[in-house]
Amino acid sequence: MFTGLIEDTGKVINASFSDGALYLEIESAKLAQEIKIGDSVAINGACQTVTAKTQSTFKVFASAQTLSVTTFNDINKGHFVNLERAMRLSDRLNGHIVTGHVDGTAVVEEISKTGDSILFTFTTQDTLCKQIVKKGSVTIDGISLTVFDTNKNTFKIAVIPHTFDNTCIKFYKKGTRVNLETDILAKYVEKYLLSNDNIKDNSSAINMNLLEKNGFI
């Protein structure tokens, strides 16, 4: 379990593919000194297990399943990635509940500036976008962010200078692919509604009448 608060941006010093999997070695003295082999680390929002480490680096193995739903195929030597260790039960939950299980990817559609904030517009599948709500939380490359606005297959986030300066979001350009994890609470609500006896056909839409009937409004 993670919070979406990035602890460090690590540098990929080795990225090699073998038998449909990816072997990554990442340099981060800040994390490497404290993590142990077997620990979980979120790399650009994807939960991975530490398989080896030194005082300044650690290695992970990304399976074919991970590659199929993340942007890990795009990672090369020299790239920087967002890093977060698994949270402790005693920690404050300053971000939101992040599982580290990436749902899919989104693409940067537009970047603009509003005051001191940087506004990003992303496009993604409408099946994922319906789990994203205005003023709700979303995880982009492991970063816990608040949704500024949303539409059928687009959503917007406003990034404060601190987040921009201390994460890999500062490297984004139009067309950049990112890992996306929607809010776990939205997934539970959606599953409950679609499996409810009120819905005989899973293709049926979730509408205001259905939400009212089930006590959500």
Evaluated on CA atoms 200, 202, 204, 207, the torsion sign reads: positive
Q: Let me know how long the chain is.
A: 217
- pTM confidence score: 0.86
- Domain assignment present for residue 40? The answer is yes
CATH number of the domain residue 32 falls in: 2.40.30.20
Whether the predicted pLDDT of 194 surpasses 90: no
Q: Taking a C-beta distance cutoff of 8 angstroms, is the pair 137, 181 a contact?
A: no
> pLDDT tens for residues 70-79?
999 999 999 9
Whether the predicted pLDDT of 83 surpasses 90: yes
**Distances 19 to 66, 69, 152 between C-alpha atoms, Å:** 14, 17, 37
Closest by Cα among 169, 124, 172 to 143: 169
- Domain assignment present for residue 120? The answer is no
List the domain range (segments joined by +) for residue 60.
Answer: 8-85
- Domain assignment present for residue 23? The answer is yes
- Domain assignment present for residue 160? The answer is no
Cα–Cα dist 142/179, whole Å: 8
- Domain assignment present for residue 170? The answer is no
Which element (helix H / strand E) includes 60?
Answer: strand 57-62
- Domain assignment present for residue 158? The answer is no
> pLDDT tens for residues 128-146?
998 999 999 999 999 999 9
- Domain assignment present for residue 74? The answer is yes
Query: Domain total for the chain?
Result: 1
